[in-house]
Amino acid sequence: MTELSPSAQTVLDAANMVFSQAGTTAQGIAAALCAAADQAAPELPHSELDDPEILRGIWGERRACRAELLAIATELEG
């Protein structure tokens, strides 16, 4: 396998950690989705939450993306 980007490696590591602890396929995928959400749409620092420009547009899109990924992960976790 070719070298992964740090973000992709983080996602793979999250799934592998669950699998190495005898987790189910669904739990491994859920861990990977949570890691992907953290990489793709991390929570903004509280210091930036007061900036109206940040809260417009990008914040809403990031929140929606993160929520969708985390909803899938929650469903898979059972």
- pLDDT tens-digit readout, 45-76: 666 566 777 667 777 777 788 888 888 777 76
Residue spans per domain, the chain: 6-77
- Which amino acid would we find at residue 45? P
pLDDT at 48: 59
Mean pLDDT value across residues 2-21:
84
Instruction: Quote the CA–CA distance of 8 and 5 in Å, as a whole number.
Output: 5
Closest by Cα among 50, 9, 13, 42 to 28:
13
Mean pLDDT estimate for the chain: 79
- pTM of the entire structure? 0.60
Instruction: Quote the CA–CA distance of 68 and 49 in Å, as a whole number.
Output: 21
Mean pLDDT value across residues 1-29:
84
In this prediction, residue 26 has a pLDDT band, given cuts at 50, 70 and 90, of confident
